[in-house]
Amino acid sequence: MSVLSVNTSAAVGEPDFSKPPSTPRRLPSIPQERPISRPRPLPPIPRALACKKCKTPVTSVSLIFPLESIPLQSRAFRGFSNRVCLFTEIHNAQLWSPKVRLMASGAHTVQELSCAKCSCYLGFKILRAHDRSERWKEGHYLLELEKLAARSDIFCPRIPHRRHVSSDSEESSS
């Protein structure tokens, strides 16, 4: 069976491919380059946490102890003002003498800490957990959130190993 005979026996309304189309087929137009747009203004991200009383930077939200590293039974931290958060690093704080304090999770040796500028109480550093299951807290800082204010107008340092660099960025190729 030849191509010609297939096309002549085709039903009415089907295209005939044995001859070129009467009007040339148009290709889609080449898209125009998009104009370079101005960057969209984004709201400021509060990165630094400062003493609420004197606005001295104390830590950063990027230094919060990772939630996945906290055991499930230990995620309900409480302080004097009820809301506290565990941080890995702080700045501009004064540490006081160590004391043994009995907490809901057992006895801990802690150092109270206050703002280096205004001496306002901020929280405490956990030096030693006397219960073996709580030792993961040692060396970290429990700060009262009521004593801190978020600041977006200042920069507070981050831990370098926590910085995420995507695989397609220029920094990952160097």
Q: Which domains are assigned to the chain?
A: 48-156 (2.170.150.20)
Please say whether the beta carbons of 79 and 142 come within 8 A: yes
**22 membership: H or E segment, kind and range:** none
Is residue 89 packed enough to be buried (19+ CB in 10 Å), middle (13-18) or exposed (0-12)? middle
More reliable by pLDDT, 17 or 117 = 117
pTM across the whole model: 0.60
34 to each of 29, 30, 38, 55, how far by Cα in Å? Answer: 14, 12, 12, 44
Lowest mean pLDDT among 15-19, 103-107, 127-131: 15-19
- What tens digit of pLDDT does each residue of 72-126 get? 767 677 777 778 888 999 999 999 999 999 888 889 999 999 999 999 999 999 9
Cα 167–Cα 170–Cα 174 angle in degrees, nearest 5: 95
Across 3-12, 19-28, 30-39, 87-96, which has the greatest mean pLDDT?
87-96
The pLDDT of 139-154, averaged and rounded, is 85
pLDDT at 160 over 50: no
